């Protein structure tokens, strides 16, 4: 009787994970994966805007909330997708605008975007944008749109004559080239470097002064939390009160604004503002240089 020796067979371990993309018969091709991912993204967008496409949302506009002789007119660059979809200003829950407005004392209660229409009558605060067209981000605007929007904004300010025209640093950087030309032609002087706070010149044919502050977006690199920004809203309230004679005032043209980081921290600690989570829906804000007292020479 003969016994056959059978060699032992070593079992082959199956590799975990997805098979190599080269094996088309065993998995999806790169093109198929891209198509699946694009479909998922499109579904997320539709869910975000209640079934509307981005193109449909972009066709919407965001009306101004404005009247004559406001104390403060808040100026944005142009409507974002969520603002146009909601039909209100600053609707994203991650944005710090409404919280800072309340904590600084500019409003006597915590409001949200649903209250934007009531602000002119109750608090003499309004809203407008430089460019009316809705886009996913300000980078989608053309230079021509921005320059035309700057001219329309000037006409709007001359018509409604708010006490203070308040905007964020990103808009001023975009407008800085126009601002330099405006100063040279109107005042015969070279525009000073941009800094936070009160700007040196009034809007022509008005008594409107310009006030510059950081973006209220949580993606603003220099001031990512609400507690980092409240100080600027407090200074805005002080400027308004001085101009209205509610407190002993100095000549507005002589008011010197300087950002004191330690004071801002003390304000934040005193008010005990909860830190915010970064909101990925917001685009990054191009701020001034790391030192808030340094000026920016960025132009469009």
Supply the residues annotated as catalytic: 78, 89
Closest to 171 (Cα-Cα) out of 239, 217, 105, 104: 217
Q: How many CA atoms lie within 13 A of 149 on its CB side?
A: 23
Contacts for 62 with CB less than 8 Å, ≥ 6 apart: 79, 83, 84, 87, 88, 89, 129, 132, 134
Dihedral sign, Cα of residue 54, residue 59, residue 63, residue 64: positive
Distance in angstroms (rounded) separating the CA atoms of residues 300 and 277:
31
Closest to 174 (Cα-Cα) out of 221, 224, 212, 125: 212
Rg (CA), the chain: 26
């Amino acid at each position: 009787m003969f016994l056959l020796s059978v060699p032992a067979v070593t079992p082959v371990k199956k590799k975990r994970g997805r098979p190599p993309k080269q094996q088309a018969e065993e998995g999806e091709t790169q093109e198929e994966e891209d198509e699946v991912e694009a479909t998922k993204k499109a579904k997320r967008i539709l869910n975000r805007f209640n079934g509307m496409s981005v193109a449909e949302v972009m066709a919407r506009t965001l009306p101004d909330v404005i009247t004559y002789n406001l104390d403060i007119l808040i100026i944005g660059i142009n409507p974002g997708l969520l603002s146009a979809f909601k039909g209100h200003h600053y609707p994203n829950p991650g944005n710090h605008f409404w919280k800072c407005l309340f904590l600084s004392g500019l409003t006597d209660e915590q409001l949200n975007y649903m209250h934007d229409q009531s602000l002119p009558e109750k608090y003499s605060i309004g809203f407008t944008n430089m460019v009316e067209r809705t886009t996913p981000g300000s980078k989608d605007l053309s230079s021509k749109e921005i320059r035309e929007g700057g001219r329309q904004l000037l006409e709007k300010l001359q018509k409604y004559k708010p006490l203070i025209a308040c905007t964020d640093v990103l808009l001023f950087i975009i407008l800085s080239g126009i601002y330099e030309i405006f100063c040279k032609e109107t005042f015969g002087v070279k525009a000073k470097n941009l800094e936070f706070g009160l700007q040196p010149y009034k809007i022509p044919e008005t008594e409107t002064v310009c006030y510059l502050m950081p973006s209220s977006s949580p993606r603003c690199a220099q001031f990512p939390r609400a507690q980092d920004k409240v100080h600027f809203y407090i200074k805005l309230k002080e400027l308004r009160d001085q101009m209205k004679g509610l407190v002993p005032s100095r000549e507005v043209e002589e008011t010197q604004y300087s950002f004191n980081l330690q004071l801002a921290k003390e304000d934040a600690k005193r008010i005990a503002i909860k830190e915010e989570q970064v909101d990925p829906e917001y685009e990054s804000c191009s701020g001034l240089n790391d030192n808030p007292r340094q000026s920016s020479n960025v132009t469009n």
